[in-house]
Structure 1
Amino acid sequence: MPFEKNFILIFFTAMGVLLGAALVGSLAAVMVREPPLGVMLRLAREMKIWAVVAAIGGTFSTIEILESGVFRGEIIAVIKQLFYIVSAMAGTHLGYLIVLAIAGEGK
């Protein structure tokens, strides 16, 4: 898949994982009589790193590509992986900001 398409796919996947976990988790909170906004915020904070890992397809493939780039001189592969990680982190952060806005914490 071309770099640009993969970059965008990773961004929105990370955002979707975070939003989905927070929103569905808040529904579960309603079912067990917990405050849904508090649970949604807590889940959004806790899910950030997992959303990044899920979006880039797991950590082992990324580590393998980084390793091959560093030890075999494939610098372009390293740069691409770093961009993918930044894309996933940006998507996760945007998802977190959306959750904050939903919860009214962004004021």
Structure 2
Amino acid sequence: MNVILTKAGLDFFIAFGVVMGGSMLAGIGSVFLLLPPTSMMLSTASNLKIWAIVAAVGGSIDPMRVIESNISEGHLSPAAIQIAYIAIAFLGAHMGTEMVKLICKGAV
């Protein structure tokens, strides 16, 4: 159980960090390119959300294979755990996107 919670926590923070870090760096880059940083950060955060989830759960098609193979064999527990990892990664990416929106709210 401890391993499952540890991986879930890492998935959350990896997805959160991908969105926050990517959008912050996009904001810094937009300043150098004389573009509006707020709009660049907001669009980057929403564009990175799906990629943050993919990066957090493994970065490939393997999580989908785990779900498919376990369900076809009748083992629902590993498939449910993998779906939970994806949901937790989504929560991290969504929270990162909302945090960027909150940060940029004062500048808009």
TM over 0.5: yes
Report SS of the residue matched to 1:2. Answer: helix
Report SS of the residue matched to 1:8. Answer: helix
Alpha-carbon distance in structure 1 between the residues aligned to 2:62 and 2:4: 16
Alpha-carbon distance in structure 2 between the residues aligned to 1:6 and 1:74: 20
Alpha-carbon distance in structure 1 between the residues aligned to 2:80 and 2:70: 9
The alpha carbon displacement at 1:59 in A equals 3.5
Counterpart of 1:80 in structure 2 is: 81
> Which TM-score applies when normalising by structure 2?
0.93
What is the number of equivalent residue pairs in this alignment? 105
Structure 1 stretches of at least 4 aligned residues deviating more than 6 Å after TM superposition: none
Report SS of the residue matched to 2:61. Answer: helix
Alpha-carbon distance in structure 2 between the residues aligned to 1:66 and 1:45: 26
In structure 2, stretches of 5+ residues that fail to align are none
RMSD: 1.2
Superposition map of 1:37-48 within 5 A = 37-48=38-49
Structure 2 letter corresponding to 1:63: M
> Which TM-score applies when normalising by structure 1?
0.93
